[in-house]
Chain A
Amino acid sequence: MTATGTRTGRRMLGVHAAAVYGFFYAPILLLVVFSFSGDRLVGQWGGFTLDWYREFLDNEQLTAFHDGAIWTSLKVAAVSTVVSVVLGTLAALSLERFRFRGQRVFDALLYLPIIIPDVTMGIMMLIFFSEAITFADTYLGFEFAKGLQTIIISHIAFNISFVSVVVRARLAGMDDRLEEAAMDLYATRWQTFTHVTFPQILPGILGGALLALTLSLDDVVVTQFSAGPGATTLPVFVFSLIRKGVTPMINAVSVVMLVASLVLIAMMLLADGLRAEADETA
């Protein structure tokens, strides 16, 4: 596309774009500002304070080592990311590099967790776990309850799909003649994978892992329906706090979550730069 149109038209478009950015960023900035506000009422300025951050750090339910919401969130995110990166990358390899029976069904099944609304997925997991608990109790003779494990299971179920989409995009963009050349030069399949394929798709795997981490740390709805009384993640805990009534401490927790998001975004952009670099040297 090239520029067409009058100068006033363009100026109006520029003002509109600026307004859109204002709309995107003003709420985030205001949130940060109000997290330092001394007023008990949220959304009002009452002088600078760090009290809410202190209250946040002192909150056992949030920060207690091992079973605080923050630790639960980190554990869930770490485990679900590692598992879904392995499974998702294998799935991506199989779909991009091989032809096998049932491939199209697999492909469709892999897309579903991405497009399904999270309320529906949450309900699915809720019913599934309650059925599974009864089933295990009556037929297999062991008991389990919803908790950390069930949250992790749900998160892997949606993260596999996101990882595989990202890795597949990378594989599709990679020249498969490189792999053929390696094998022509008597590299075994394993050597080809470790020396050619893997270094090439590593930025994709990294991108997929960061996406999985982000989604896992963000999720409220699916987690809420997979969690038991024993384990709560940070977003679910914050969501229940908001529903009970807004307090300034939520502002502080929100800003902490915001910073976590921004760190992940920065890493993602870095991974993106890495991808561009890898493409230049290839």
Chain B
Amino acid sequence: MGGWRRVTAIDIPEADRVTPEFEALAQRQARRRGFLLALPAWIYLIVFFAVPFGIVVVYSFATRTSRGGVALSDWNLASYERLGEELVRNVLIRSLGLALLTTVICLVVAYPFAYFMTTLSARVRNLMLVFVMIPFWTNFLVRNYAWRLILAEDGPWNTTAEAFGIDTVIDWIIDLPGWIAPDFLVGWLVDVPEPLFTKLAVILGLVYSFLPFMILPLYASIERIDGALLEASRDLYANARQSFVRVLLPLSMPGVVAGSILVFVPSLGAYVTPDILGGGKEVLLGSYIVTQFGTARNFPFGASLSVVLMVVMLTATIGYFRSGGRNL
């Protein structure tokens, strides 16, 4: 055995022994260290984020003075009551509708794309992912401006549409009886030859801006599905449609929900896209809020609209985490 002997607890000097008190002290120290590390960011976010957030909420209950200022003594719900006014309601409904339509289009375009990616080899897949990420990282303003060029008068879209005789096709559709070409469809179609500064251009810009937000979570959730399940459904005589509706779609639901929220929320609050491509003609929630702080000078009302937007966003985010979005 030589100089080797078993170390027992008794041999450890009193001071080095791990006692419950020592453990508690260590834990307390660790807790303090953690808190101290977080402290600078804590303080910063409280002063420059939580406080501004709180001020907006407080403003939403204040009253607009006749000179466009804010009276912080007269508290009421007047700003929230205005949400029921027809003009305001129309803005809200139009924004919700446009954001929803953007989300649906993104979903329809992204789903087959994401599914196709999962069927390819890992190398090709990664390459495809990189090329989805590049537009996503590219300057947002520039990407929207590019559409302004394309849709410009006598620009690429215009000339191409004319070359293909889109005008005649659309005229022909408009002349069809109402049950084939309902009014809302016609309302969209008339803008096709010159879409700039119409809601068509806004939708196009929003889809272009947020499509990667849909593709990425969809890809992540479809990629995780065991392909054997799909094969099994086909072996059991499900046709392609049945195995999509009953196997693939339900299993990829977390991705569908996550992607939809990631597209819906920024679309609802969009400001730059409707401004550049809609020319401010289509008043949407984002620009309507900005107007309250600009020409309309009604800070309390603008604040209440912001609060509404935040509530929608928070609800959606909680839904996102519930759907397992954190793991995507």
Q: Which residues of chain A have a CB within 8 Å of any CB of chain B?
A: 1-6, 9-10, 13-14, 16-17, 20-21, 23-28, 30-31, 34, 41-44, 86-88, 90-91, 93-95, 97-103, 106, 109-113, 115-120, 122-128, 131, 153-154, 156-157, 160-161, 164, 214, 217-218, 220-221, 225, 235, 238-239, 242-243, 246, 250-251, 254, 257-258, 260-262, 264-265, 268-269
Contacts and interface: CB of A to CB of B under 8 A. Distances in A.
B144 to A, nearest CB: 9
Contact of B317 (A44, A109, A115, A221): A115
A264 B290 CA distance: 31
18 contacts: A2-B231, A13-B113, A17-B116, A17-B117, A27-B147, A34-B149, A91-B42, A94-B34, A94-B35, A109-B46, A117-B269, A117-B309, A131-B55, A161-B45, A218-B139, A242-B145, A246-B152, A261-B138
Contact of A100 (B31, B152, B208): B31
Contacts of A9: 240
Contacts of B276: 239, 242-243
B227 A2 contact: yes
Max chain A CB contacts within 10 Å: which of B112, B225, B231?
Answer: B112
Given A127-B59, A157-B48, A220-B272, A258 B38 contact: no
Given A43-B152, A217-B139, A238-B141, A119 B309 contact: yes
A261 B136 CA distance: 10
A235 B137 CA distance: 15
B56 interface: yes
Interface in B44-78: 44-46, 48-53, 55-56, 59
B316 to A, nearest CB: 8
The 8 nearest A-B residue pairs measured at CB: A98-B34, A117-B269, A43-B155, A128-B52, A2-B227, A43-B152, A94-B37, A27-B146
B137 A268 contact: yes
Contacts of A100: 31-32, 34-35, 38
Given A27-B146, A117-B266, A220-B141, 20 more contacts: A1-B118, A1-B119, A1-B230, A9-B240, A13-B119, A16-B112, A95-B38, A106-B38, A110-B41, A116-B313, A120-B269, A120-B306, A123-B290, A123-B303, A126-B293, A157-B49, A235-B141, A246-B149, A246-B152, A258-B139
Contact of B269 (A6, A41, A118): A118
A44 B153 CA distance: 9
B305 to A, nearest CB: 9
B137 A20 contact: no
A121 B259 CA distance: 22
A5 B145 contact: no
Nearest to B321: A111
A160 B45 CA distance: 9
A115 B156 CA distance: 36
A98 B135 contact: no
A120 B309 contact: yes
Interface in B123-148: 128, 130-135, 137-143, 145-148
B139 A90 contact: no
Contacts of A21: 131
Given A1-B119, A27-B150, A112-B49, A123 B137 contact: no
Nearest to A124: B52
Given A4-B234, A9-B240, A269-B130, A41 B145 contact: no
Max chain A CB contacts within 10 Å: which of B135, B146, B230, B293?
Answer: B146
A115 B231 contact: no
Contacts of B208: 23-24, 27
B154 interface: yes
B281 interface: no
Interface in B242-301: 265-266, 268-269, 271-272, 275-276, 286, 289-290, 293, 299
B115 interface: yes
A99 B45 contact: no
A27 B265 CA distance: 24
A110 B31 CA distance: 19
Contacts of A164: 41
B309 A91 contact: no
Interface string B92-116: 0000000000000000010011011
Given A25-B135, A98-B37, A257-B142, A243 B112 contact: no
A91 B134 CA distance: 28
B25 interface: no
Contact of A261 (B142, B150, B293): B142
B139 A127 contact: no
Contacts of B56: 120, 123-124, 127
A109 B50 contact: yes
Nearest to A37: B149
B195 interface: no
A127 B51 CA distance: 10
Contacts of B211: 20, 23-24
A161 B133 CA distance: 20
B53 A258 contact: no
B275 A243 contact: yes
Contacts of B34: 94, 97-100, 103
Contacts of A98: 30-31, 33-35, 37
